[in-house]
Amino acid sequence: MPGVRRHMDYAAFLSNLEEAGWTIQGKSYAFKLIHNDWQVAFVRLGGRAQRSGFISFVICVRHLLNQNLDGEVSTTNKEPHSYPYKFTTEELRNNRYEYQCKLNNYELTYLESDSEWGEIQGLLENVVPRWLSHHSSAKLLNEIKRNGEGGYIENLWIEDLQNDA
């Protein structure tokens, strides 16, 4: 029926992302290139991060120049530590986009698998791209220099971003 919005569970969420041009790998990783410079990823975590009945995830963003933990530049980075930005949905709702050093510890979002996932798709498809349309590799470089802790991967990112300047 037109105009009636259907409940979007996790499976429908992944299907909708795929229809919107996201690359889906399994049930735990999806990514999309935004504005030709940025990669946005939805990373579902398992293991100790799991809670019964919930899906734990983080929304990650990286500049396409950024190396991963192995010192490679790749669009298939399932490891959140390979992304400078690791966001919870709460941070995105509150426009808290600035780089914070989350090398060894970052927060996750927990959502019941049968919850309404439409808001998460809206954050991925609308909020993050809108922020990135006003963001640059130079801003990321300055944020890492200001807020970083000199970690191995941060130093790689700084080198990558300085080479772009």
Q: If DSSP states are collapsed to H, E and C, what string results for 102-155?
A: CCCCCCCEEEECCCCCHHHHHHHHHHHHHHHCCCCHHHHHHHHHHHCCCCHHHH
pLDDT tens, position by position, for the chain (165 residues)? 455 456 788 999 999 999 999 999 999 999 999 988 999 999 999 877 677 788 999 999 999 989 888 888 887 889 999 999 999 999 999 999 999 999 888 999 999 888 899 999 999 999 999 999 999 999 999 999 999 999 999 999 999 999 876
94 part of a folded domain: yes
The answer as to whether 144 is a domain residue is: yes
Domain assignment of residue 54, yes or no: yes
The residue range of the domain holding 62 is 10-120+127-164
> Does 34 reside within a domain?
yes
SS3 (DSSP) at 86: strand
| Residue at 26 is within a domain | yes
Distance, CA of 26 to CA of 161 (rounded, Å): 31
pTM (2 decimals)?
A: 0.92
pLDDT at 102: 92
